[in-house]
Amino acid sequence: MSTFLDEVNERINGVPIQACYHCRKCTAGCPLAFAMEYNPNKIIKMIQMGMKDKVLNSSTIWLCASCETCVTRCPNNVDIARMMDVLREMAIEEKVEPKEKSIAKFHEAFLSNIKAGGRINEPLMIVNYKLKSGDYFSDMAMGMSMFMKGKIKLFSPRTKDMKSVREIFKSTSK
Amino acid sequence: MKVSYYPGCSLHATGKEYDLSVKAVSKALDIELHEVEDWSCCGASSAHMTNHKLSVALPARNIMIAEKNEWDVMIPCAACFNRFKTAQHHMRNDEALKKEVETMVGGKFSDSVAVRNPIDILYNDVGVERLSDKVKKKLTGLKPVSYYGCLLLRPPEICQFDDYENPYMLDKLMASLGADTRNWSCKTDCCGGSLTLGKTEIVVRLVDKLMTMAREAGANCLVTACPVCFANLDTRASENVRLPAFYFTEIIALAMGLEGPESWFSMHNVDPRPLLKSLSLL
């Protein structure tokens, strides 16, 4: 029976996260740490202690912007950004309600838009996101302005070979 | 010089100015762009943040198309650039994943093309001297800070581009145009990226910090090479600190006296034309 730590390490498939000795360079350089529930290095400790529920239910995993500063600075080459990707993926697979709903909804809207057209159709994607997240009215003025300037087009060319795009989504769906 | 050109979703929409300016500058420098045939989205942040295999397969589809030619692939968008490089890295080092992706996409990954961003191509293949020679209008009075952002440089093993804590290539390109490039300590600080819709207040905070530090460095504008960074700089800064932002290729086109810059500037949210007019650059 594998532990939460084992599972995370297996998915990262790189340096095991227990190589961390809490120098906190990751947390110090993280631009989102100020807003996170638990600091990046604390998440590592929590994984080692098997605190799966708290970790997957945290805002931390969703607020990580994948800026890769942590990875670049870790003296032990722990791939903290990849760890955050792994934790997000696990949360989705286990149907954990995301602590940061809007962020999770954004990813859903983005990917379903590619699945439909091969390329992002920005107005459609943004409308989809707004409907999913319930955030209907912010940025409305800016959206109108961009539309008037020709930056957001209602019809944008799609990928022709949609079969291959759909196949990719089908093969990787969970 | 011939390259495969992968614009990505942004450059066809909110990053339009970047696409148009890259094309104008490339044409003027005899870089022939061949758009990757029937390309599809690279997956950007949302794919790798939620589904590892998807995040490798989506760029892989495009890489395999580009591999039909032996040219380098020029990718202006920093996110697309980073995702392509990451996909190549994963397929190089994980044989099982590579085979799985090849089956999914229906092709072979031969790892035969170099994925490069336009700063790299302009700095290394064109060179600051040749660029300087082409300047028709020296950008005197323009004081940009170079904002590289995250994904062009990190992780260094994957991007292998410039100094990842204190990069200089974009600064040197701007200096070659006669601009007074300001040095600052936020060259590679995150703008908040894709959190711009889901967590706008965080992006506002991060962008305001960039604007404040740019002002402290004596800058009157910011220059960037990423469509998400540009969108955030252009639309999320608070009114009391904001400065105009540019794509670096817009500035190069302006200095080279090419056609187009004024129409691109009119698409910005923060209008840079007053600044440029005050410096007699427009």
What are the pLDDT digits (tens) for A129-157? 988 888 887 787 778 888 777 777 778 88
All residues at 6 or more sequence positions from A148 whose CB lies less than 8 Å from its CB, including other chains? none
Nearest to A89 among B52, B188, B198 (CB): B52
Mutate to test the interface with A, among B17, B45, B49 (most CBs of A within 10 A): B49
Q: Which of A23, A58, A93 is the last residue of a domain?
A: A93
Buried b (16+ CB within 10 A) or exposed e, B17-54: bbbbbbbbbbeebebebeebebbbbbbbbbbbbbbbbb
Residue pair A135/A109 in contact by the 8 Å Cβ criterion: no
Domain identity same for A81 and A121: no
Q: Which residues lie across from B74 on neighbouring strands? A: B5, B116
Shortest CA gap B177–chain A (Å):
28
| Rounded Cα gap, residues B26 and B33, in angstroms | 7
- Where do the CATH 3.40.50.11810 domains begin and end in chain B? 119-278
Domain identity same for A147 and A69: no
Interchain proximity B266–A149, CB inside 8 Å? yes
Shortest CA gap B101–chain A (Å):
8
Q: Which of A38, A66, A93 is the last residue of a domain?
A: A93
Residues 2-31 of A with CB under 8 A from B: 11, 13, 31
- Where do the CATH 1.20.1050.140 domains begin and end in chain B? 2-116
Phi first, then psi, for residue A168 (nearest 5°) are -65, -45
Question: Considering the domain B119-278, what is its CATH architecture?
Answer: 3-Layer(aba) Sandwich (3.40)
Report strand pairing: B72-74 vs B32-35: unpaired
Domain identity same for A64 and A137: no
| Rounded Cα gap, residues B95 and A103, in angstroms | 33
Domain identity same for A60 and A30: yes
Residue pair A31/B192 in contact by the 8 Å Cβ criterion: yes
pLDDT of residue A147: 79
The beta strand positions in chain B, using DSSP E, are 2-5, 32-35, 72-74, 115-116, 144-147, 221-224, 245-247
**How many other C-beta atoms can be found within 10 angstroms of the C-beta atom of residue B112?**
12
All residues at 6 or more sequence positions from B4 whose CB lies less than 8 Å from its CB, including other chains? B34, B35, B36, B66, B69, B71, B72, B73, B74, B113
| Rounded Cα gap, residues B72 and B84, in angstroms | 12
Report strand pairing: B2-5 vs B32-35: parallel
Provide the CA B153 distance to its chain's centre, in angstroms: 11
pLDDT of residue A143: 80
pLDDT range class, residue B165, cuts 50, 70, 90: very high
Nearest to B16 among A71, A151, A165 (CB): A151
CB contacts of A56 in chain B (<8 Å) are none
Report the side by side order of strands in the sheet with B115-116: B32-35, B2-5, B72-74, B115-116
| Rounded Cα gap, residues A32 and A171, in angstroms | 33
Could you tell me the end-to-end alpha-carbon distance of chain B, in angstroms, rounded to an integer?
Answer: 30
Domain identity same for A85 and A12: yes
| Rounded Cα gap, residues B142 and A159, in angstroms | 40
Buried b (16+ CB within 10 A) or exposed e, B153-169: bbbeebbebbebeebbb
Residues 118-157 of A with CB under 8 A from B: 118-120, 122, 126, 129, 133, 135, 138-139, 142, 145-146, 149-153, 156-157
In three-state secondary structure terms, B2 is strand
Cβ contacts below 8 Å, chain A against chain B, sum to: 162
Residue pair A9/A17 in contact by the 8 Å Cβ criterion: yes
Nearest to A102 among B10, B164, B199 (CB): B199
**Residue in this structure with the two tokens 């990580």, named with its chain if needed:** A64
In three-state secondary structure terms, A88 is helix
Number of domains into which chain A is organized: 2
Per-residue pLDDT tens digits of chain A, which is 174 residues long = 799 999 999 999 999 999 999 999 999 999 999 999 999 999 999 999 999 999 999 999 999 999 999 999 999 999 999 999 999 999 999 999 999 999 999 999 999 999 999 999 988 898 899 888 888 877 877 788 887 777 777 788 899 999 999 999 999 998
Mutate to test the interface with A, among B21, B40, B148, B150 (most CBs of A within 10 A): B40
pTM of the model: 0.96
Task: Give the domain extent around A26.
Answer: 4-93
CB contacts of B269 in chain A (<8 Å) are 142, 145-146
pLDDT of residue A42: 98
Interchain proximity B198–A106, CB inside 8 Å? yes
Write out the two tokens for A128.
Answer: 């989809």
Q: Which fold has domain B2-116?
A: Glutathione S-transferase Yfyf (Class Pi); Chain A, domain 2 (1.20.1050)
Q: Which long-range contacts (CB under 8 A, 24 or more apart) does B162-166 make?
A: B162/B119, B162/B120, B164/A72, B164/B188, B165/A72
Q: Which of A64, A93, A122 is the last residue of a domain?
A: A93
Mutate to test the interface with A, among B50, B82, B91, B262 (most CBs of A within 10 A): B50
